[in-house]
Amino acid sequence: MNGDKSRLAAWGLRLAILGLAVLALGILGHRLGVLDFRPALLGLAGGAAIGLLGAVVSAIALVMSLVSSRSGVRTAIAGLVIGLLVAAPVGQAMIAGSKVPRIHDIATDLANPPAFDAVVALRGETSNPLDRAEPADLAELQAQAYPDLKTLEIEAQPGKVYEAALETARGMGWEIVASNPEQGLIEATATTRVMNFKDDIAIRVTEAGEGAAVDVRSVSRVGISDMGANANRIRSYLHALKVNLGDEG
């Protein structure tokens, strides 16, 4: 009987470690350019599923061991912890993604979003298009999901705002692709920490009355849904910009 419990705990740990390995291969494969983003995401999902299975098996083994014998307790705990650590981040991302629309092109100005120029050549032929044609109700979907994303109006000289906008973009860790002070335009690329996905950002600073207006657009190069990442990026950027300009209201 004790041997059965130990074997069950061992299987739970093996599954959890396998899930971790599959997850790691998906991440490393994409970061090294060996895997396209689709198989890499399948690796993440598969690793999380295997890790979750390992956690469930380990949990069963742990309960069985605790109610009758301590054989396999440590192994079961290890499998449970590893399995949950593998499954939880992917699960949280999937839950967050299910709460937002399947879009990946977000802008503060829906009628006239900032345009890309220099960054177009970097995106490649397989990247998402920049015409905002799909889905047909893109603007409506964004307005419903992210009603807080609007043009930022600041009572400051446009030149000063532009310099702060450029400094803030650099402070976000983005790669500045192009900057045009005369037109008030900035193009940049953000690289995600884990998967090395690249998203492109266009920032436009224009004169507005006695101050300036700042519009931001963030677009994912791959994937139908951005899981809310572009909206969060714009929010973080605009907040940092206001802090840099001393306007935190």
At residue 189 the predicted structure's pLDDT band, cuts being 50, 70 and 90, is: very high
Helix (H, G, I), strand (E, B) or coil at 180: strand
The CA-based diameter of the chain, rounded to the nearest angstrom, is 81
Alpha carbons 218 and 185: distance in angstroms, whole number: 14
Helix (H, G, I), strand (E, B) or coil at 212: strand
pLDDT at 175 over 80: yes
Alpha carbons 245 and 154: distance in angstroms, whole number: 9
Half-sphere exposure of residue 62: CA atoms within 13 angstroms, side-chain side: 16
Alpha carbons 211 and 133: distance in angstroms, whole number: 32
Alpha carbons 194 and 182: distance in angstroms, whole number: 36
What integer is the mean pLDDT of 38-66?
Answer: 93
Phi-psi region of 102 (alpha: psi -120 to 50; beta: other; left: phi over 0): beta
Cβ(87)–Cβ(52) under 8 Å?
yes
What integer is the mean pLDDT of 183-198?
Answer: 93
Cβ(215)–Cβ(204) under 8 Å?
yes
Closest by alpha carbon to 89, among 142, 26, 38, 33?
A: 26
At residue 2 the predicted structure's pLDDT band, cuts being 50, 70 and 90, is: low
Q: Radius of gyration of the chain from Cα atoms? A: 23
Alpha carbons 7 and 201: distance in angstroms, whole number: 52
Confirm whether pTM is higher than 0.95.
Answer: no
Residue type at position 203: I
The pLDDT mean for the chain works out to: 92
105-244, what's its fold? Answer: Alpha-D-Glucose-1,6-Bisphosphate; Chain A, domain 4 (3.30.530)
Residue tagged 């519009």 (tokens): 215
Helix (H, G, I), strand (E, B) or coil at 64: helix
Q: What's the confidence (pLDDT) of residue 1? A: 47
- The H-assigned helical ranges of the chain are 2-31, 37-68, 73-98, 120-123, 138-145, 158-171, 229-244
What integer is the mean pLDDT of 179-189?
Answer: 97
Q: For the chain, give every domain's residue range.
A: 2-98, 105-244
Q: What's the confidence (pLDDT) of residue 57? A: 96
Instruction: Tell me how far CA of residue 45 lies from CA of 35, 117, 248, in angstroms.
Output: 14, 35, 39
Alpha carbons 198 and 12: distance in angstroms, whole number: 36
Encoded tokens for 174: 């983005």
- Supply φ then ψ for residue 178, to 5 degrees: -155, 150
